[in-house]
């Protein structure tokens, strides 16, 4: 059982990367709001079935406080993520998503009192560095091109904000799970996120256009939604079994899996930074496992 959280974290990473790849391959929509919303919507049937099959756990004030606090932060992170991808190149924004585990070293300690060992902290930093390198799309621009772009690219600042917000919502999620159950929190949380996100999508796309897109893209959205639901369930169980910083660091291997998908299925280049980032990230993974 000691290693089960590692397996579940890797399943969560695989499911997220696969959902991303299927979304990119199947959907023909140039609107990030709708793409994000469709994936949420089509993850709901599996979550609803799981919720219906389990008893409602005893809930207390701590659960509701963590739940209500995390919701607006989750929506804000989703909006900032979409804005970052829309206004700035992916090569200058996605590297910063790898910062979440580093922020979690601090936030996990402040909110949960979780401390990481020196070896574990080194593993997290290596995972962050590997995730950063994996997303450098133009080696000629230099390894620090995204960092130099922070001052002039709002998208980079938005993504740093997303990484920081996720470090808070991950911790709040663990608090809510401890005071309920993994399946109950995962199901109710993402159902609520979808409901709250829908008005923003409606305003962005217009009611008639949104319904037409939903009908047109329903078939292509089923598999991304199913893998997203799998990501949610495996994430919720894994995060109860280990320190949040460790779990999220291993889950960020989704960046590595996504890079492999990009190379194999989308013929994306930049083999050198991908290989280098993979080696660095795997080194961090081993340190975390043995920590």
Report how far residue 207's alpha carbon sits from residue 185's, in angstroms, rounded to the nearest whole number. 30
Q: Which helix or strand (DSSP H or E) is residue 269 part of?
A: none
- pLDDT, one tens digit per residue, over 61-97 is 999 999 999 999 999 999 998 888 778 766 667 777 8
CA dist., res. 118 & res. 251, Å (int): 20
The secondary structure of 186-233 as a DSSP string is HHHHHHHHHHHHHHHHHHHH-HHHHHHHHHHHHHHHHHHHHHHHHHHH
> Average pLDDT of the chain?
85
Helix residue spans in the chain (DSSP H): 4-26, 32-41, 44-52, 61-87, 100-112, 118-134, 145-148, 154-178, 182-205, 207-239, 244-251, 254-265, 271-290
Residues with Cβ < 8 Å from 16, sequence gap 6 or more?
227, 228, 231, 251, 254
Report how far residue 210's alpha carbon sits from residue 174's, in angstroms, rounded to the nearest whole number. 34
pLDDT of residue 90: 64
Record the tokens describing residue 203, joined without a space. 């305003």
List all residues 6 or more positions away from 209 whose beta carbon is below 8 Å from its beta carbon: none
- The rounded distance, in Å, linking the Cα atoms of 190 and 74 is 10
> Would you state the structure tokens that stand for residue 279, as one six-digit string?
């080696």
Query: 17: which 2 tokens?
Result: 């990367």
Condensed to tens digits (0 to 9), the pLDDT of residues 182-240 reads 999 999 999 999 999 999 888 877 665 777 777 788 788 899 999 999 999 999 999 99
Q: What is the DSSP letter of 55?
A: P
pLDDT digits (tens, 9 = 90+) for 142-184: 666 666 766 677 888 888 899 999 999 999 999 999 999 999 9
């Amino acid at each position: 059982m000691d290693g089960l959280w590692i397996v579940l974290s890797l399943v969560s990473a695989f499911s997220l990367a696969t959902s991303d790849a299927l979304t990119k391959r199947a959907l023909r929509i140039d609107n990030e709001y709708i793409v994000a919303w469709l994936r949420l919507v089509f993850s709901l049937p599996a979550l609803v079935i799981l919720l219906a099959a389990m008893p409602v756990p005893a809930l207390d004030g701590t659960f509701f406080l963590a739940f209500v606090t995390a919701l607006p932060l989750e929506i804000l992170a989703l909006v900032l993520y979409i804005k970052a991808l829309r206004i700035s190149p992916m090569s200058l924004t996605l590297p910063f998503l790898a910062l979440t585990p580093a922020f979690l070293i601090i936030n996990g300690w402040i909110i949960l009192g979780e401390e990481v060992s020196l070896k574990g902290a080194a593993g997290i930093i290596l995972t962050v560095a590997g995730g950063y390198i994996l997303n450098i799309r133009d080696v000629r621009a230099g390894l620090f091109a995204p960092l130099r772009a922070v001052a002039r690219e709002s998208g980079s600042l938005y993504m740093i904000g997303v990484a920081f917000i996720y470090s808070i919502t991950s911790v709040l999620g663990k608090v809510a799970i401890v005071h309920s159950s993994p399946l109950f929190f995962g199901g109710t949380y993402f159902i609520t996120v979808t409901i709250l996100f829908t008005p923003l999508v409606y305003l962005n796309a217009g009611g008639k256009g949104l319904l037409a897109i939903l009908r047109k893209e329903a078939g292509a959205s089923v598999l991304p939604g199913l893998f997203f639901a799998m990501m949610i369930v495996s994430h919720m169980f894994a995060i109860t079994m280990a320190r949040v910083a460790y779990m999220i660091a291993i889950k960020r291997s989704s960046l590595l899996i996504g890079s492999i998908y990009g190379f194999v299925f989308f013929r994306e280049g930049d083999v050198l930074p991908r290989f280098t980032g993979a080696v660095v990230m795997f080194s961090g993974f081993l340190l975390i496992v043995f920590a």
